[in-house]
């Protein structure tokens, strides 16, 4: 085993110890295949009002422009699939938002991993990313063999489906690189057929401006009337394309206590949500990603669903 392989093995073992589901490594270089795809997606205005997607085009595609001297992208997956879900007669919340905001949970683990690399290997410079910078998470995870990008544009793996967060360390250390895996979607179109707003306009292409996650989280204005009655009771995010995916039969509950929901969250009914006060919002979502939409955003969504 040469030193690049040894170092890669060391990093993957530590990632597992820190609770990550899996870890893959790819060479930090320009994402040639993604460039025309991203350009076309932006030209077709599929980013809706997410203007920030148009910024830093070069940095999105080239990690060496983001982290000077970078050699490797270490991609990591962290499971968030819950052991129990909301009561079925409630307005719905995406599963990833049940517990503590993942940004905090993963950032701490990434910092610990980077510290470990520096302690064990020596002077290594790098940065940690949790969808907070112009990094194409899914493309890097796929490049490093952690899964393939499904027709719903989420990363998929045969062993555990798709209910996990993706994060990365971009570092100036040469390592042994993994190779991409193959696509196992086959002729299945479950996600395309089930999307309540028909946001998956063709296999592997999602029109962000029609996606329920975008409408309930990113969009700051009123939800367009054309989506009346099409939101399937989702008040924050949406899991439909993942829920119907056959590969998610293999999802196993996470073992991260910080991702456990506030006890009240699972039992709340539609009536409870319609009457939610700012105090209850603060209590139930104290450290949650739901704070991104704020109390006003969540109540706007609930009113829209109520019609």
- Two tokens at 134? 């112009």
Exactly one of 62, 131, 183, 272 is catalytic; name it.
131
Question: Three-state secondary structure along the chain?
Answer: CCHHHHHHHHHHHHHHHCCCCEEEEEECCCCCCHHHHHHHHHHCCCCCCCHHHHCCHHHHHCHHHHCCCCCEEEEEEEECCCCCCCCCCCCEECHHHCCCCHHHHHHHHHHHHHHHHHHHHCCCCEEEECCCCCCCHHHHHHHCCCCEECCCCCEEECCCECCEEEEEEEECCCCCCCCCCCCCCCCCCHHHHHCCCCCEEECCEECHHHCHHHHHHHCCCCCCHHHCCCCCCEEECCCHHHHCCHHHHHCCCCCCHHHCCCHHHHHCCHHHHHCCCHHHHHHHCCCCHHHHCHHHHHHHHHHHHHC
Instruction: Say whether 131 is catalytic.
Output: yes
- Two tokens at 99? 């517990």
Residues with a catalytic annotation lie at 131
């Amino acid at each position: 085993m040469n030193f690049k392989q040894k170092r890669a093995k060391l990093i993957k073992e530590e990632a597992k110890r820190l609770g990550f589901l899996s870890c893959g490594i790819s060479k930090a270089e320009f994402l040639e295949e993604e460039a025309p795809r991203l350009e076309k997606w932006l030209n077709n205005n599929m980013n809706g009002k997410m203007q920030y997607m148009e910024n830093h085009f070069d940095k999105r595609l080239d990690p060496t422009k983001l982290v000077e001297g970078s050699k490797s992208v270490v991609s990591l997956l962290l499971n968030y699939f819950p052991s129990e879900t909301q009561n079925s007669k409630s307005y719905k919340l995406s599963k990833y938002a049940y517990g503590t905001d993942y940004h905090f949970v993963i950032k701490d683990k990434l910092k610990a991993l980077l510290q470990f690399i520096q302690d064990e290997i020596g002077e290594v410079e790098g940065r940690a990313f949790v969808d907070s910078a112009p990094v194409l998470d899914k493309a890097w995870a796929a490049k490093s063999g952690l899964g393939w990008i499904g027709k719903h544009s989420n990363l998929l793996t045969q062993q555990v489906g798709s209910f996990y967060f993706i994060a990365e360390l971009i570092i100036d250390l040469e390592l042994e690189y993994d190779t991409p895996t193959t696509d196992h979607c086959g002729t299945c179109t479950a996600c395309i057929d089930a999307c309540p707003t028909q946001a998956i306009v063709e296999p592997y292409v999602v029109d962000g401006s029609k996606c329920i996650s975008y409408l309930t989280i990113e969009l700051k204005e009123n939800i367009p009337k054309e989506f009346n009655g099409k939101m399937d009771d989702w008040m924050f995010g949406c899991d439909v394309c993942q829920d119907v995916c056959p590969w998610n039969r293999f999802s196993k509950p996470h073992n991260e206590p910080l991702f456990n929901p506030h006890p009240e969250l699972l039992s709340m009914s539609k009536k409870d949500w319609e009457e939610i006060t700012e105090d209850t919002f603060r209590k139930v979502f104290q450290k949650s990603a739901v704070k991104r939409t704020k109390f006003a955003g969540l109540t706007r969504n609930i009113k829209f669903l109520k019609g």
